[in-house]
Amino acid sequence: MDDYLKLPETFEEFSEARKNGFIRVKKIKEEGGLIAGVFCTYTPLEILDAAGLTAVGLCGMSNETIPAAESELPKNLCPLIKSSYGFALSDKCPYTYFSDIIIGETTCDGKKKMYELLGEIKDTYIIQLPQGQDRAYSAELWTKELRRLIRTLEEKFGVEITDEKLRSAVCLRNDERKAKTELMELSRLQPPPLRGLDLYKVLEGSGFVFDIAASAEAMQSTKRKALEKYEAGDRPVSKNAKRILVTGCPIGGVLEKTVGTIESSGGVVVCFENCGGVKATRELADAEADDIVQEISRRYLNIGCAIMTPNQNRVNLIRSLVDEYHIDGVVEILLQACHPYTVEAHTIRRLSSEIGMPYLGIETDYSNTDTGQLSTRIEAFMEML
Amino acid sequence: MYYIGIDVGSACSKYAVIDEQNEVLYRNVIPTGWSSSSAAEAVRQDLLLRGYNPEHNPCVATGYGRNSVEFADKAVTEITCHCLGASHLFGDGASTVIDIGGQDTKIINISGGIVQDFLMNDKCSAGTGRFVEIMAKILELDPMSLCALAESGTEVTISSMCTVFAESEVIGLIGRGVKKADIAFGIVDSVASKVASQCGRIKRSTRYYLTGGLCECRYLMKVLGDKLGVCIVSNPEGRYAGALGAALSAKKLEKGGRTDG
Ligand code: SF4
Ligand code: SF4
């Protein structure tokens, strides 16, 4: 048992993190701790931290629960939404099961309406997220929403969310984000010292460590070790590998057939722009700001997700990442029936051609029926670079 | 020295042998059948019979079954091979290659013999050779004569994009006594519309070439060209574009030493 409570040390252990996290979550519960299930990068984690809640990502990444979800949800819906709901419906995800509250946001329509149904199974609180960043009152609305969330959590769990607690939560989260950013920035090296698949697993696994300071430390030590090996001449990636920027929808559920295929066809993913990668970690909040809630609100509202309109922040981010990471090609991963990203794909394709970047958009779902077609597309793209 | 290219498609396997001067020494097509490895073996036997040994000469496999050709030195995707083959057949200026394959349709923008951008249709068979084949079967025709017959038809529209629904639509039309030629017209029109809309998603070019099994359907080329507002060119050798391209890339293989992957 104690073994499972150890922090992951190697890439393989990080990919086991989600599994081992179950035991950690169970322990937290046994010790009287509270769990908040979250789905989205817009969730203001610092507020949950300050309330003493342990935040756990519930995004469904497996095809397994989709048939259950389809008994209530339409077939033609994003697999992430169906999978997540299926987990709640079939009680197959211990994280969902252990959650004392689920926090959702009004992001895409599918998720928003799924949360309504989820609310009938689990206690769910939906934060109203503005749909754009360019109106001054969007920031105001979002800040008000965060204050409302604070009051709700205080009342519900009988806790006090003070400014001090928020500030120290901001510091801790900043440290973790910085550690992740530094780890990701290793891949600016040519060739990178990490394969994208390994990097992604470490980043993903960190979400199941639950001790934010420890997670930051684990990131730092992973970075140190990778760098040491690299400096000692260890090159896990060929210098001829094509350097790929991955963008688009969250990719946890399609990792092998997308990133795995890119990396077995002569490419290496050096940068993940998606949630789970740079998008979620790049911006920090100022722990010294006068109004800390307003500052947290600012930090989160600026995230460049396709559910925003306009979504200039994503375009700007991709532009700079392409330079920073010496990118050879952009691969956008689109989950079937995700309207925000599949429509915005046109903008990203255009952006890519503007900046002279080859672009490949791949639409896929959590099933394995399209692996052959996907590998043809990805291999052809690699041959083209 | 000669070079072998094998294109194992979902419906047919095409293969070509070229010499140092890129002259085609031999080419042939056989049905792929249910197993791409058996098709690969049949290709190997035929090549040996003609005196070409794929094990001792550079050989590249492409197409949907490219990884089942165990004796090939390398697998290259059909996108790259169609680009090379089309550049060889039609010249290597900037152009768009439309390959209507058995299972998928590819739109490839090429320039200087290099792929610039490409698109493939998604999971569905609308706008592919398979669609035409299924529809032809209902009309008790083969795809070529369906295309030819379509030229004398008019007005019928097949509105379903899904092959299964289109099938019942066609059966409905037959039941209502609509003329075969008119139904054929609707089928060709539907394929052309789907392919044209795919072409619209990629940068337009001035030259369009059709490769793949339907490259001899003159009428399909005409309808597609009308929809795109361009003239589409093909060549009876167009169906071998993938195999030719594979043979051409086998040449590069030899120069740069054999690689895997
Ligand atoms: S892609 Fe957008 S909606 Fe989905 S988790 Fe990320 S920020 Fe949230
Ligand atoms: S991938 Fe798209 S549709 Fe799915 S939850 Fe995210 S924004 Fe919504």
Interface of A with B (CB under 8 A): 265-266, 353, 358-359, 363, 369-370, 372-373, 376-377, 379-381, 383-384
Residue B229 forms part of a structural domain: no
pLDDT at A230: 96
**Cα-to-centroid distance, A338 and ligand 2 (Å):** 5
For residue B3, give the nearest of B85, B59, B77, B74 by alpha carbon. B59
Distance linking the first and last C-alpha atoms of chain A: 48
**Cα-to-centroid distance, A278 and ligand 2 (Å):** 18
For residue A145, give the nearest of A161, A166, A128 by alpha carbon. A128
Sheet holding B208-211, edge to edge: B114-120, B105-111, B95-100, B208-211, B232-233
> One-letter amino acid identity for A13?
E
- Structural domain for B248, as ranges: 3-81+240-256
Peptide bond before residue B58 is cis, with ω within 30 degrees of 0: no
Chain B neighbors of A353, CB-CB under 8 A: 203
In order of their start, the domains of chain A are 3-161 (3.40.50.11890), 165-384 (3.40.50.11900)
pLDDT at B123: 64
| B69 close to B40: Cβ distance less than 8 angstroms | yes
What value does the mean pLDDT take over residues B181-200? Answer: 90
Beta-strand ranges (E) seen in chain A are: 34-38, 53-57, 101-105, 124-127, 242-248, 267-272, 329-335, 359-364
Calculate the alpha carbon distances from A317 to A324, A348, A359 in Å.
Answer: 10, 11, 16
Residue B124 forms part of a structural domain: no
Largest pairwise CA distance in chain B: 62
In three-state secondary structure terms, B134 is helix
Q: Note the pLDDT tens digit of each residue in B60-106.
A: 999 999 999 999 999 999 999 999 999 999 988 889 999 988 788 89
pTM: 0.90
pLDDT at B122: 66
Min CA distance, B98 vs chain A (Å)?
15
Calculate the alpha carbon distances from A371 to A237, A255, A258, B227 in Å.
Answer: 24, 12, 9, 32
The tens place of each residue's pLDDT in chain A, 385 residues long, gives 345 556 556 666 666 777 778 888 888 999 999 999 999 999 999 999 999 999 999 988 899 999 999 999 999 999 999 999 999 998 888 889 899 999 999 999 999 999 999 999 999 999 999 999 999 999 999 999 999 999 999 999 999 999 999 999 999 999 999 999 999 999 999 999 999 999 999 999 888 889 999 999 999 999 999 999 999 999 999 999 999 999 999 999 999 999 999 999 999 999 999 999 999 999 999 999 999 999 999 999 999 999 999 999 999 999 999 999 999 999 999 999 999 999 999 999 999 999 999 999 999 999 998 888 899 999 999 999 9
Residue B196 forms part of a structural domain: no
Residue B56 forms part of a structural domain: yes
Residue B97 forms part of a structural domain: no
pLDDT at A245: 98
Separate counts of helices (H) and strands (E) for chain A: 19, 8
Residue B48 forms part of a structural domain: yes
**Cα-to-centroid distance, A171 and ligand 2 (Å):** 29
pLDDT at B256: 42
Query: Which B residues in the span 25-84 are in contact with A, Cβ-Cβ below 8 Å?
Result: 64, 76-80
* pLDDT band, residue B260 (cuts 50/70/90): very low
- Considering chain B, what is the average pLDDT of its residues? 88
pLDDT at A260: 97
Q: At residue B13, does pLDDT exceed 50?
A: yes
* pLDDT band, residue B259 (cuts 50/70/90): very low
What value does the mean pLDDT take over residues B178-187? Answer: 88
What gap in Å lies between CA A102 and CA B56, rounded to an integer? 64
Tokens of A149: 């969330």
Whose CA is closest to atom 7 on ligand 2? A108
Q: What is the CATH number of the domain that holds B65?
A: 3.30.420.40
Q: At residue B134, does pLDDT exceed 60?
A: yes
**Domains in chain B: how many in total?**
1
pLDDT at B255: 47
Higher pLDDT, A107 or B191: A107
Sign of the alpha-carbon dihedral angle for A350, A373, A340, A255 = negative
Which residue of A265, A343, A379 is the best one to mutate when testing the B interface, meaning the one whose CB has the most B CBs within 10 A? Answer: A379
Higher pLDDT, B130 or A37: A37
Q: Note the pLDDT tens digit of each residue in B93-116.
A: 889 999 988 788 899 999 999 999
Ligand 1 proximity of A307 Cβ (cutoff 6 Å): yes
